[in-house]
A and B are shown apart, each in its own frame.
Chain A
């Protein structure tokens, strides 16, 4: 199909027949009575499914599924740094995030992976004991199989789990949670639809047992009380998520002991 492939006709994915001018979905309603499309409470996270050892050929790996958000992270190393790299007495961390072509509703529209990669790097950097592997590099590669909202926090949590699975020394697991501001309401762990209508977003990645925050991002317009409310929500959710992560790390161990 080489000849045909070159002249691939422009394609589009058919959109839904929604009559224009119809009242918008209740997500825009500014009252406190609307229900989230997946029936969750505002302050309820999606059920998290975490599993380590997803990729056999990697040193460590993890798979995370939060609703429709599905992410695989592989960790390779510590291994030889690139030849061009200068000597370094602390280890290097290299992060890369990519999307599958079918991850999003429209083909090939995955978010900017460069930005996500650097965000992932910054969230994990502080949690890894880089002094433990001088001269070498740890590669953290993430692939978003399906994007269903709150991609970055899921990637970060999944990546820290994969690092732990690879036996990289960490100060603590990094758990990340985001909150969207929709009108007056704060919704935690937003899905794609909610994210696209949000007025502002807030994300925290933290190390719950050390009570330290490794990354905090804030976009949109926020009032100070809103921020502290969001912060409390996130920190609470992070500590719960970290417990789930910890138990998923123990699972394979207890299974092998039996």
Chain B
């Protein structure tokens, strides 16, 4: 396959991924995640008693605090907080610890593209480290669409800027279950093909989006194997 990426990667090749858990000793759970030059830390505190105002006290509540590398938080960070919070809420078992709040603090160490997917991955790892009950993990990836219509996975920042558009996707990890194969299908598709989170930037055709979806799923399957092994 023709190599057309700045750092010589193949279109489907991710940057080197590294994940470690339990790096902070005062937090209840913590993790770091790096993908190429992008690096993010996460710390989890909780569950603490009580929920915030306007939250449902019958369920566990989550709070995400996004700390950028430098400067104050603005609208983009607020949006990341909201997306991350809703993503994590959807993978946690909310009925186990009702009327509690769990805080997740995301510290960006370095941003070289694909920040939000890295944050989702690191937050999951930190939740596992803290022992928060989860339904499954969320595995996130960035797919970008080059001008020639080709899908490039996990672009870095300089690549992101030359793209027609890019998509952040989060899927559930592939479940290893004792149930017979095919019992966990929804409308002919395995459960792990369902999108938890999707955020797009730039215009693309619907077919391009579906192509990204397909490539993203394939990459997430590999990534979920990696996460599983690194969390053991």
Contact = CB atoms under 8 A, between A and B. Distances in A.
B180 interface: no
A16 interface: no
Interface in B57-100: 74-76
Contacts of B76: 2
A179 to B, nearest CB: 45
Contacts of B75: 2
Q: What secondary structure prevails in chain B residues at the interface with A? A: helix
Interface string A1-22: 0100100000000000000000
B75 to A, nearest CB: 7
A2 B111 CA distance: 15
Nearest to B74: A2
Contacts, number: 4
A5 B72 CA distance: 13
Contacts of A5: 74
B89 to A, nearest CB: 24
A2 B76 CA distance: 8
Contacts of B74: 2, 5
A2 B73 CA distance: 11
Contacts of A2: 74-76
B72 to A, nearest CB: 10
Interface in B15-35: none
A5 B75 CA distance: 11
A225 B173 CA distance: 84
A24 to B, nearest CB: 45
B133 to A, nearest CB: 31
Nearest to B75: A2
Nearest to B53: A83
A2 B71 CA distance: 12
A5 to B, nearest CB: 8
A5 B76 CA distance: 12
A224 B74 CA distance: 56
Nearest to B72: A6
B115 to A, nearest CB: 13
A79 to B, nearest CB: 13
A2 B79 CA distance: 13
Interface string B174-191: 000000000000000000
Nearest to A5: B74
A214 B231 CA distance: 69
Interface in A126-176: none
A5 B74 CA distance: 10
Nearest to A83: B53
B101 to A, nearest CB: 17
B113 to A, nearest CB: 16
B147 to A, nearest CB: 23
A244 to B, nearest CB: 38
Interface in B95-152: none
A4 to B, nearest CB: 12
4 contacts: A2-B74, A2-B75, A2-B76, A5-B74
Q: Which 4 A-B pairs have the closest CB atoms?
A: A2-B74, A2-B76, A2-B75, A5-B74
Interface of B: 74-76
Interface of A: 2, 5
